[in-house]
């Protein structure tokens, strides 16, 4: 054995080598430059290099308290309010300043604790998910974490694997790579170990594999040249930042918060100038205007969103759905097209062998069955055959009772051509006990029968009969191979059809109900299968799934992208399709603005899983498929998936409730306060009272993430629509202000209220109206009668209203600046609140009837979204950029 690489010298730095330079070197020269060997690095050398170069990481999922705290404090309005309150205290107004400071501390603490707890949940979620790669260490194959890869490591990759670093190819077999994430090229490119002679662009470096791209076909061995941010994909990914990406909804909320901030700044400036012109003390005017601005901005919005997402992951886990990243919850709820194989989803996935049907009289059923066993990829030379790792059809053959009569000595295997998804067949060179040799080919009838001479006329009728019955069929053919020691695909010719092996995979008993559930959620199900079209159509018909048009893989290849995109809405089944064809279909669906999920569990599904907006696999899937997926189902059941979609949409619906709250009554109340400050001879509320009002209101809304959601809010994906929220604000905000002005009139002209009484009355009214309005806004139905809120939201809201009523009556009233109120006020308040809620219900009906006429939004995820998604696997619990 060649010596293992242990470093050029003790503590010598790792050789810096660009991927372009490595492409011009031979494999041996690259290994020498990297201080490595074909047997890889030693364990100690790998550790030394890891300490020197840092982890192979592009993202961090560490939950640090300081960034969370900074997000709570970074509002310029909040900072200015704290400074102004401090100045006010030094100038003698200590009581008001202490009240303001105490309320701000509680408010910031509440937001911090909820958001940091959610970040800790996200960190735990990321830490549970590990991605691995096979390397040679100390001359032996080892599976290590992806982030522990170092320059000079020799890695082995197979179909479906994501390239873990920039790699110079050493050995490759029929290797194709999908580099669309890096180059934009939709077709897989050939890879070969031969060095590049001249200067070439990134896409033309055929001897190099790039981080983040995917092995579309074949397998290979290569040496790592660059890891982390030094890789080509790494530089792009780090250019987008090292933090895990925010969900599209979180990004939309951030934009909306900026909009409210601009409104708040304009409002603050106008109020401050107006109060100065009225001759009021500058410091009091500034404190009041800044408190109004704080009241307009949704302080706890990040905490509500993060809490909802974290709660969603826990709820999905209870439903046996493992979400790898928080962003996946939104993707799951967005899904409106599901592309899936039928095996194990529409069918039971327990394939059983049922019959061997000879195609000619000189072949018996037993002989045909034995030929089928000989053409499997199982090693039967030692007598005992394990079905682990075999494809389901081969496993079903070996599990059949007749397999016990198979005689390995009479079918000695000399060579084999494994199954691949282009040929869709397996061929074996076998010799009987007398030494007679023959080639046995087993595969899809459409691919085997054209290789046969003199196919009996009744064979096609026999095949059609099985297809019409919904059976899965494999054709077996053979020919003499005297004097041959090895075979290649070119030898698969001149065969004689021996017959057909018939298998049964029954439809799932609950599949029909699951399809109905998905249909109710507005999700179109499309089948992409390697089976015959008629078999897939029969299964769909048995389950009541409207399959519409069917396209075969041959027909898919015959269509241009434009032509295929035009017919996609009409196609329900894609039959006899290859992994590349599945990926092409998914990419075109995404291009049309559909949110596409792909459910797959095999090695051949990995490419499609990477191309989908959300890749879904199952716990029993191959490691490659689970590694490629964003979401893993503990049970391959469409019913479980439907529950996951509901949870994703429920989270969105509940979060939007908080946003609508902040843009209606809350915004209206703050606008009312601003207007009243100009008209009245005194401030309608003191700064501390405004902040206390806002704190109580926000505290009650923290129960929104756990609220019930009406069924109609789950039937289609919802997207962030700032125009809709702006319209909502312009309709409901003035309605809220109208009742505030009515309260002002009541206090001034009926009760002849002094400033302390006025403030207490409006404080109670604003808390009651802006808190109770949630029961109207949370549903498009009639509140309570046709849509009941959760117990948590009901209790929190009523508790906040009770606190708002009791505070002006408590011993703290004097400190807070409240005076006692007459009993008739509370009766008037009750009547006004009821009238307000009835009016809000009427406005809601009118508003949503007009909104329903607007065209739905079309959402397209940009390239950065998919770069973030691919980069998420390269994540460590500490900063990446500090290296």
Query: What does the alpha-carbon distance between residue 874 and residue 263 come to, in Å, rounded to a whole number?
Result: 40
Tokens of 547: 């399959």
Question: What are the DSSP E strand ranges found in 345-471?
Answer: 352-358, 412-417, 425-431, 437-443
SS3 for 633-670 is: ECCCCHHHHHHHHHHHHHHHHHHHHHHHHHCCHHHHHH
- Sheet with 631-633, strands from edge to edge, namely 321-323, 631-633, 614-618, 596-599, 337-340, 524-529, 571-575, 549-552
Burial of 170 (0-12, 13-18, 19+ CB in 10 A): buried
To the nearest 10°, the Cα dihedral for 761, 664, 106, 810?
20
Burial of 853 (0-12, 13-18, 19+ CB in 10 A): exposed
User: Which of 166, 178, 341, 394 is flagged as catalytic?
Assistant: 341
Active site includes 627? no
Sequence-separated (6 or more) residues with CB below 8 Å from residue 279: none
3-class state of residue 49 by DSSP = helix
Q: How many CA atoms lie within 13 A of 9 on its CB side?
A: 2
Query: What does the alpha-carbon distance between residue 586 and residue 580 come to, in Å, rounded to a whole number?
Result: 10
Tokens of 710: 């009406």
Contacts 24+ apart (CB under 8 A), 790-798: 790/703, 790/706, 790/707, 790/708, 792/703, 792/706, 792/707, 793/703, 793/704, 793/706, 793/707, 795/703, 796/699, 796/700, 796/701, 796/702, 796/703, 797/700, 797/703, 797/771, 797/772
Give the torsion sign (CA, 487, 491, 497, 501).
positive
Describe the crossing of helices 76-90 and 248-277 by its angle, rounded to 10 degrees: 40
Describe the crossing of helices 65-73 and 94-128 by its angle, rounded to 10 degrees: 140
Sequence-separated (6 or more) residues with CB below 8 Å from residue 324: 125, 126, 129, 629, 630, 631, 632, 872
Query: What does the alpha-carbon distance between residue 127 and residue 109 come to, in Å, rounded to a whole number?
Result: 26
| Selection from 354, 669, 381 nearest residue 500 by Cα | 354
Q: Contact 18/199 with Cβ under 8 angstroms?
A: no
| Selection from 133, 141, 217 nearest residue 167 by Cα | 133
Tokens of 405: 């009569």
Q: What are phi and psi of 410, to 5 degrees?
A: -85, 0
Sequence-separated (6 or more) residues with CB below 8 Å from residue 80: 290
Q: How far is CA 76 from CA 103, 258, 261, 582, in A?
A: 17, 12, 9, 50
**Residue-wise DSSP of 480-507:** E-TT-S---GGG--SBEEEEEEEEE-PB
Q: Which residues are catalytic?
A: 341
């Amino acid at each position: 054995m060649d010596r293992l690489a242990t470093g050029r010298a003790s503590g010598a730095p790792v050789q810096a080598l660009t991927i372009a330079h490595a492409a011009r070197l031979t494999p041996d020269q690259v290994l020498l430059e990297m201080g490595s060997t074909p047997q890889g690095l030693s364990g100690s050398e790998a550790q030394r290099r890891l300490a020197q170069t840092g982890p192979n990481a592009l993202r961090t999922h560490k939950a640090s308290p300081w960034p969370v705290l900074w997000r709570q404090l970074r509002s310029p309005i909040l900072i200015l309010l704290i400074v102004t309150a401090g100045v006010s205290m030094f100038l003698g107004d200590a009581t008001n300043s202490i009240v303001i400071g105490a309320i701000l501390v509680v408010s910031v603490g509440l937001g911090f604790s909820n958001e940091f707890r959610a970040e800790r949940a996200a960190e735990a979620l990321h830490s549970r998910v590990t991605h691995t790669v096979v390397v040679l260490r100390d001359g032996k194959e080892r599976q290590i974490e992806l982030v522990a890869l170092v320059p000079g490591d020799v890695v082995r990759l197979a179909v479906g694997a994501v390239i873990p670093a920039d790699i110079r190819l050493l050995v490759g077999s029929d290797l194709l790579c999908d580099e669309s994430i890096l180059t934009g090229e939709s077709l897989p490119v050939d890879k070969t170990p031969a060095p590049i002679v001249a200067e070439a662009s990134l896409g033309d470096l055929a001897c190099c594999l790039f981080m983040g791209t995917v092995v579309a076909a074949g397998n290979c061995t290569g040496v790592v040249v660059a890891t982390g941010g030094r890789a080509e994909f790494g530089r792009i990914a780090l250019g987008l930042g090292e933090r895990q990406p925010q969900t599209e909804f979180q990004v939309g909320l951030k934009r909306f918060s900026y909009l409210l901030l601009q409104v708040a700044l304009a409002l603050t400036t106008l109020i401050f100038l107006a109060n100065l012109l009225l001759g009021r003390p500058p410091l009091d005017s500034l404190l009041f205007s800044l408190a109004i601005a704080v009241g307009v901005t949704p302080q706890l919005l990040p905490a509500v969103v993060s809490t909802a997402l974290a709660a969603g992951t826990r709820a999905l886990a209870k439903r046996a759905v493992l979400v790898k990243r928080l962003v996946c919850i939104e993707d799951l709820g967005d899904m409106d097209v599901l592309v899936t194989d039928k095996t194990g989803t529409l069918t039971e996935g327990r394939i059983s062998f049922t019959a061997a049907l000879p195609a000619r009289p000189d072949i018996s059923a037993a002989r045909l069955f034995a030929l089928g066993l000989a053409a499997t990829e199982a090693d039967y030379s030692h007598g005992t055959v394990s079905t682990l790792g075999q494809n389901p059809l081969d496993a079903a053959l070996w599990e059949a009772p007749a397999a016990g009569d198979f005689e390995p000595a009479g079918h000695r295997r000399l060579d084999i051509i494994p199954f691949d998804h282009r040929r869709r067949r397996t061929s074996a060179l076998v010799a009987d006990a007398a030494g007679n040799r023959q080639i046995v080919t087993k595969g899809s009838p459409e691919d085997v029968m054209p290789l046969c001479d003199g196919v009996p006329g009744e064979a096609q009728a026999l095949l059609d009969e099985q297809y019409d019955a919904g059976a899965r069929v494999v054709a077996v053919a053979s020919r003499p191979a005297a004097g041959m020691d090895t075979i290649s695909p070119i030898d698969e010719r001149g065969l004689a059809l021996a017959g057909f092996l018939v298998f049964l995979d029954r439809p799932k008993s609950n599949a029909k109900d699951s399809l109905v559930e998905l249909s109710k959620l507005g999700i179109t199900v499309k089948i992409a299968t390697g089976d015959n079209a008629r078999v897939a159509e029969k299964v769909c018909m048995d389950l009541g799934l409207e399959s519409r048009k069917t396209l075969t893989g041959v027909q898919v290849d015959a269509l241009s992208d434009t032509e295929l995109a035009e017919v996609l809405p009409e196609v329900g089944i894609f039959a006899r399709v290859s992994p590349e064809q599945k990926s092409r279909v998914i990419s075109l669906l995404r291009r049309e603005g559909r949110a596409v999920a792909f459910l797959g569990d095999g090695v051949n599904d990995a490419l499609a899983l990477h191309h989908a907006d959300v890749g879904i696999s199952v716990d029993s899937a191959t490691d490659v498929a689970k590694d490629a997926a964003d979401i893993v189902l503990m049970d391959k059941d469409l019913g479980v998936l439907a529950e996951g979609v509901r949870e994703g949409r429920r989270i969105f619906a509940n979060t939007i409730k908080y946003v609508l709250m902040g843009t209606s009554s809350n915004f209206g109340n703050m606008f009312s306060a601003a207007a009243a400050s100009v008209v009245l001879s005194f401030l309608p509320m003191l700064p501390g009272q405004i902040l206390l009002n806002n704190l109580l209101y926000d505290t009650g809304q923290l129960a929104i993430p756990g609220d019930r959601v009406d069924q109609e809010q789950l039937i289609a994906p919802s997207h962030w629509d700032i125009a809709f929220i702006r319209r909502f604000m312009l309709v409901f905000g003035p309605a809220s202000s109208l009742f505030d002005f009515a309260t002002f009139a009541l206090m001034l002209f009926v009760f002849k209220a002094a400033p302390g009484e006025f403030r207490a009355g409006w404080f109670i009214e604003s808390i009651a109206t802006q808190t109770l309005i949630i029961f109207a806004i949370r549903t498009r139905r009639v509140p309570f009668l046709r849509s009941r809120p959760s117990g948590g939201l009901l209790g929190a809201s009523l508790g906040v209203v009770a606190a708002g009523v009791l505070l002006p009556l408590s011993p703290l009233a004097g400190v807070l600046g409240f005076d006692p109120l007459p009993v008739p006020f509370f009766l008037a308040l009750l009547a006004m609140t009821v009238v307000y809620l009835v009016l809000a219900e009427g406005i809601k009906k009118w508003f949503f009837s007009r909104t329903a006429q607007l065209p739905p939004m079309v959402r397209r995820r940009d390239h950065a979204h998919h770069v973030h998604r691919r980069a998420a696997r390269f994540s460590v619990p500490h900063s990446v950029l500090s290296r």
